[in-house]
Structure 1
Amino acid sequence: MDALGTFLWGCALCAALLGSTAAHAEKVDWWTTHSLDKAFPDSAKPENAPQTIALKAARNDTEDAQILLRTPKGLTVAKASFTLPDLLGPDGAVIEKANFAAHWIWYTYVHNNPPANKDPKTVLRAAPGFFPDGFLEYPVVRIRDEWTQPLWVSVTVPKDTPPGDYAGMLGIDLGQQHIDVPVSIHVWAFTLPDEPTLHQTEWFFPTNLADYYRIPLFSDACWTWIERVAQDMGRHRQDTILTPFTMLVCMTQQADGTFAFDFTALDRWVETFKKAGVTWIEGGHVAGRGGGWDSQFVWSRFNILGPGGNPIDTSALSESEFEPYIEGFLKGVWAHLKEKGWADRYIQHIADEPIPVNEKSWTERAGKVRGWIPGVPIVDAIMHEGLDGFIDIRVPQIQHVKPGRKQNPKEAMWSYVCLYPQGEFPNRFLDYPLIRNRILFWLSWSLDLKGFLHWGYGHWKTWDQVPAAVDVSPWMDATGGSIYVADRQPLPAGDPFIVYPGRDKICSSMRWEDIRNGMEDFEYLHRLQAVASKPPKGMPRAGRQAAKALLERVRNEIAKAPNAHTQDALELLKIREEIGELLERATLCRQK
């Protein structure tokens, strides 16, 4: 090789080495953020972004944060994994790593923003696009280049944890790069109750689960999944379960006209959910619309066996002919619940969302049900102000609950959201800021509501009008395929479900953890209200005044009304921290 060739070869080698060095010099950037933030695939690291996680929580409470990893152009991480630590505290106390959890977050593609959201400020971004939500069940993921990947981190504080400061180091392994993230949590001296003060029901339909996993309904495999659902609900402070009596109870008409019942499946259902902390039985609807939205309500038919064990054709029976069957069924179920000691935690639906045009058909059936099972509270989502005297738990959409309303002393009031409200009102849609989900539970406190209802825990079923050959995955489409149905408004993204189907587990989401945080926030507010009303002995007058002032601020500013509440996530988290500090002071006064 001549001198020129040697020189050129040397230049090429140097360039290759320099290029290789430059490529390896580029590292994954990272930062931390709070639990109400939502990052996107193109999110850049903010200026002066923190690189530590600092939490504060009560005992029997869970707090969350996020770690964001940003890959540069040309750098793909083949395997990203994490290592969770024990958190070491005062006098050798430990929050063990079993109480620490982390999940990589999945980006779901959102095709449309809600149609009523004309103001772009009411959504995080204009659709279509990727929005963060679901939790992947596997601890190792691949991260492509030029991508921001969130990692959700949760710390659950056991009830027997000594108060004080705890710390540890969470490790993230990216192959050629390792990241240590300092994690600390201050544990306050008070404890949240096991049983929620605010009722919560996210409707779960076992047929959807069985259909999705292609397993027989109520088979052993199905019961394994139902148990996972129950445990997941209990972890998220849900205490009420929609219970499909007509699926779970087999009723047989005997030769003498009386009815016999097999309650085996019902008992297993109730015991499974009670074991997980979901202790209220919400009897499924016994009537439904006979046709379109404006049609009258009719009794819902269900399978009944005749004396020979053959099914009775209940579809051929008139309303009056079928009525003795639904009467006998409800009376039989109620008697069994009383025998099992479960009747004091039983509420019953009639039919969903009555409106003025079909109110009479609803009240007629409600009156009969009240006569058959006297004393059992009647609950329903309602669309207007009627039904007085026939309903015990009134559940309007949140936008219809007015501050300072005159409450019927004979009724309790919950609230619900579904595909409505939209626009300026809060909801749990995927393209909304998380605060517009969590604030629902602050509003529940400020508006003196006793419960919260939503129809979509895990409605993974593809919409009926979608061609049978199209099997829409909830991981890919958060509308149940309704965006593909002609002549109808698509469901807002995230309305049909709050959890995702995993291979071996129910996968949570940012929105589901946000609801759990909201339920915990309600407990903070409820406890502070008790302190303000009856402060512990030894608590300075200034402490009581601070509690009252903070509660008034929540009522008048933070969660004043469904269309007048804070949109500032950091403000909400700061108020929560102030409440926690006051509750700790009150707790320490009691202990003196």
Structure 2
Amino acid sequence: MIRMEKGKGLQIKLLSSLTKVFADEELMAEPWCRGSMLSNEVYSFQVAYRWSGPMMKQVQVKVVSELAPWISVRSVGLVPSEMPCYADHDDYILRSTPGLYPDPLMPLDEEGIVLLPDQWRSLWVAVDPRGAAGPGNYTVQVIFLDSSGEELGDAVFHLELIGAELPKQSLIHTEWFHTDCLATLYDVEIFSEEHWKRIEQFIRTAVKHGINMILTPIFTPPLDTEVGKERPTVQLVDVEKSGDSYKFGFDRLHRWIDLCLACGVEYFEFSHLFTQWGSKHAPKIMAKENGELKRIFGWDTDAAGEEYSSFLGQFLPCLVDFIQKKGIEKRSYFHVSDEPSTEQLESYRSASDIINRYLKGFPIIDALSDYKYYELGLVKRPIPATNHIEPFLDNNVPDLWAYYCCGQYCEVSNRFFNMPSARNRIIGMQLYKYDIKGFLQWGYNFWYSQYSRYPIDPFRVTDAGYAFPSGDAFVVYPGKEGPIESLRLEVFYEALQDKRALQLLERLIGKEAVLHMLEDGLDEPITFSKYPKGHDWLLSKREQINRVIAENVRM
């Protein structure tokens, strides 16, 4: 549906949330003018527009709908991508060229939007009634007005609210929360009141989008740090060293836990106790010794040495005691080291032995791709990458998690700038089919270069300094007033909603029937590497799921 309104030269096209609108290409996507949602989910669609006259500023956007109190409208902003993908990318991408890509969802202010000549742009419309609106059919009219209040054009979306609720999210979902990046980009002192304010803002945004586990920096996380270098200290536990003995203070960790719980966080992922890629060293740990604050462990620490082992032997029992007093022992998870390889098996074994000595009963989780780590009993809760998950599935590993990062760019789901949004969203159906218990991604707000060598402005540098395909390192931006969400974050949340809708349907008709419906008409079963491409199938399948839910709820 392309419309010319009142001779003003405004073309309008209603689109689903899964179309990415580029300013420098013709918009060929089929219109999406109606949809359905359950009463407690978020439904998003887009209003694309192109103006054929001279630039016009201060254009206002008005929404007319019974659902207006629960509707937000944001402008889909454009950000540069110099490195959209690796050279050996697959074919399921939108483009491989550098340029401007749609991603940040910018709040509208009193200045409205600017109509630039001959560019397709879009508005992101989100309906979030939170169960407060009754079931029925609604219209959402989006009107464009010039600065004098004259109507330039409008579009009407038809939305059905179904009288059924998504079940509570059962998936444990973490996207690594980089506390130091907040302090750096907002230029505030670490753990100052202003820093705590930003921490709360970004945690609330994470929880709103289904991130219910938070990386908790008991010590500065040893993640993506250049060997021999340091990230800013974001250590929640105070340490005082006296000879070979240590005392620990948990005041900041106490505040962190309380804040997270108040924001709706359900699980705590305590930061890694050994360095990334093989656990050969200790994380950076600061302590007061003879009244002086200094680094006592780091890259120069042998992880298997007596000194660090003695430290952990004193620290971990105190931490466990704190966790038990806070009543979060069933919510607490630990890491040894991130992404160990086959060559690092022995160093990981040594570190794992130390950790398990003091953390019996706590789940220890690590991102890895080598099944041998699980086979040898070194990781009881493995988190395999989605492109290496088959051996874990084939051997029926219980309580299985999954993750992806920059390395999962061929065949499997991911959410880089240049990938179709359907490739982002399909993960929800895959997680449901295989009953995946948890999902991890490393970049909620990583706003440094690779190896944390220097900070970057994510509105200008989206590839961590030519390191990762644009979109891998973060899904939120640092806005002046707080987090600016990305369309990729919203679409991933739609994937989580799909998973919950399938779980609701399973309660109504059973899993076997759900899987039959999900894969009906496909040439091959859905796996993590094989699935229907394009957004038409995904959108129509979710509508079918909603129809069957509605029919069974009415029975």
Taking structure 1 as the reference length, what is the TM-score of the superposition? Answer: 0.83
Say if 2:176 is the partner of 1:206.
Answer: no
Question: Which of 9, 14, 18 is matched with 1:36 structurally?
Answer: 18
Paired residue for 1:392?
Answer: 380
Say if 2:160 is the partner of 1:186.
Answer: yes
Q: In 2, Cα distance between the equivalents of 1:548 and 1:455? A: 30
Paired residue for 1:108?
Answer: 79
Say if 2:264 is the partner of 1:264.
Answer: no
1:309-458 counterparts in 2 under 5 A? 310-311=293-294, 313-314=296-297, 319-388=305-374, 389-402=377-390, 405-408=393-396, 411-458=398-445
Could you say which structure has the greater relative contact order, defined with CA pairs below 8 angstroms and 6 or more residues apart? 2
Paired residue for 1:564?
Answer: 530
Paired residue for 2:36?
Answer: 56
Other structure's SS at 2:157 match:
strand
Any conservation in 2 of the 1:208–1:460 contact (CA below 8 Å)? yes
Question: Which of 34, 45, 58 is matched with 1:79 structurally?
Answer: 58
Displacement, 1:296? 5.7
Q: Structure 1 residues 192, 332: closer, same or farther in 2, change over 3 A?
A: same
Question: Which of 118, 128, 131 is matched with 1:146 structurally?
Answer: 118
Paired residue for 2:517?
Answer: 550
Paired residue for 1:66?
Answer: 46
Q: In 1, Cα distance between the equivalents of 2:27 and 2:80? A: 22
Any conservation in 2 of the 1:230–1:272 contact (CA below 8 Å)? no
Any conservation in 2 of the 1:557–1:565 contact (CA below 8 Å)? no
Q: Structure 1 residues 416, 84: closer, same or farther in 2, change over 3 A?
A: same
Any conservation in 2 of the 1:58–1:157 contact (CA below 8 Å)? no
Q: In 2, Cα distance between the equivalents of 1:374 and 1:424? A: 38
Any conservation in 2 of the 1:337–1:343 contact (CA below 8 Å)? yes
Displacement, 1:83? 2.2
Question: Which of 94, 106, 131 is matched with 1:159 structurally?
Answer: 131
The amino acid that maps onto 2:141 is: M
The amino acid that maps onto 1:225 is: R
Q: In 2, Cα distance between the equivalents of 1:357 and 1:560? A: 33
Any conservation in 2 of the 1:27–1:177 contact (CA below 8 Å)? no
The amino acid that maps onto 2:108 is: Y
Paired residue for 2:92?
Answer: 122
Q: In 2, Cα distance between the equivalents of 1:208 and 1:66? A: 31
Residues 127-136 or 580-589, more deviating: 580-589
Q: Structure 1 residues 384, 529: closer, same or farther in 2, change over 3 A?
A: same
Paired residue for 1:304?
Answer: 287
Q: Structure 1 residues 183, 551: closer, same or farther in 2, change over 3 A?
A: closer
Displacement, 1:310? 4.7
Q: Structure 1 residues 378, 463: closer, same or farther in 2, change over 3 A?
A: closer
Any conservation in 1 of the 2:143–2:152 contact (CA below 8 Å)? yes
Displacement, 1:320? 1.2
Deviation string for 1:175-221 (max 9, x for gaps)? 3543333233211121123x411111110111011111111111111
1:424-503 counterparts in 2 under 5 A? 424-463=411-450, 472-480=456-464, 482-483=465-466, 490-503=467-480
Q: In 2, Cα distance between the equivalents of 1:213 and 1:152? A: 26
Paired residue for 2:239?
Answer: 251
Which runs of 5 or more structure 2 residues have no equivalent in the other structure?
Answer: 1-5, 220-234
The amino acid that maps onto 2:161 is: V
Question: Which of 136, 141, 158 is matched with 1:169 structurally?
Answer: 141
Q: Structure 1 residues 356, 169: closer, same or farther in 2, change over 3 A?
A: same
Any conservation in 2 of the 1:403–1:560 contact (CA below 8 Å)? no
Any conservation in 1 of the 2:84–2:416 contact (CA below 8 Å)? no
Any conservation in 2 of the 1:414–1:449 contact (CA below 8 Å)? yes
Q: How many residue pairs were aligned?
A: 526
The amino acid that maps onto 2:554 is: L
Any conservation in 2 of the 1:349–1:378 contact (CA below 8 Å)? yes
Any conservation in 2 of the 1:252–1:259 contact (CA below 8 Å)? yes
Deviation string for 1:536-562 (max 9, x for gaps)? xxxxxxxx95x45314539x6687122
Q: In 2, Cα distance between the equivalents of 1:61 and 1:375? A: 35
Displacement, 1:45? 5.3
Any conservation in 2 of the 1:117–1:424 contact (CA below 8 Å)? no
Bigger Rg over Cα:
1
Q: Structure 1 residues 270, 457: closer, same or farther in 2, change over 3 A?
A: same
Residues 426-435 or 170-179, more deviating: 170-179
Other structure's SS at 1:522 match:
helix
Other structure's SS at 2:207 match:
helix
Question: Which of 522, 531, 539 is matched with 1:573 structurally?
Answer: 539
Displacement, 1:134? 0.9
Any conservation in 2 of the 1:30–1:45 contact (CA below 8 Å)? no
Paired residue for 2:214?
Answer: 241
Q: In 1, Cα distance between the equivalents of 2:525 and 2:81? A: 28
Say if 2:261 is the partner of 1:277.
Answer: no
The amino acid that maps onto 1:55 is: G
Q: In 1, Cα distance between the equivalents of 2:520 and 2:151? A: 46
Displacement, 1:379? 0.2
Question: Which of 192, 196, 208 is matched with 1:223 structurally?
Answer: 196
Question: Which of 494, 503, 517 is matched with 1:517 structurally?
Answer: 494
Q: In 2, Cα distance between the equivalents of 1:424 and 1:343? A: 38
Displacement, 1:375? 0.3
Paired residue for 1:487?
Answer: none
Other structure's SS at 2:164 match:
strand
Paired residue for 1:132?
Answer: 102
Q: Structure 1 residues 25, 172: closer, same or farther in 2, change over 3 A?
A: closer
Q: In 2, Cα distance between the equivalents of 1:559 and 1:172? A: 45
Deviation string for 1:252-301 (max 9, x for gaps)? 2458x654332222122222222222210001100015xxx6x6622324
Q: In 1, Cα distance between the equivalents of 2:552 and 2:391? A: 29
The amino acid that maps onto 1:196 is: Q
Other structure's SS at 1:305 match:
strand
Q: Structure 1 residues 98, 60: closer, same or farther in 2, change over 3 A?
A: same
Q: Structure 1 residues 241, 355: closer, same or farther in 2, change over 3 A?
A: same
Q: In 2, Cα distance between the equivalents of 1:177 and 1:227? A: 40
The amino acid that maps onto 2:98 is: P
Taking structure 2 as the reference length, what is the TM-score of the superposition? Answer: 0.88
Give the CA RMSD over aligned residues: 2.6
The amino acid that maps onto 1:173 is: L
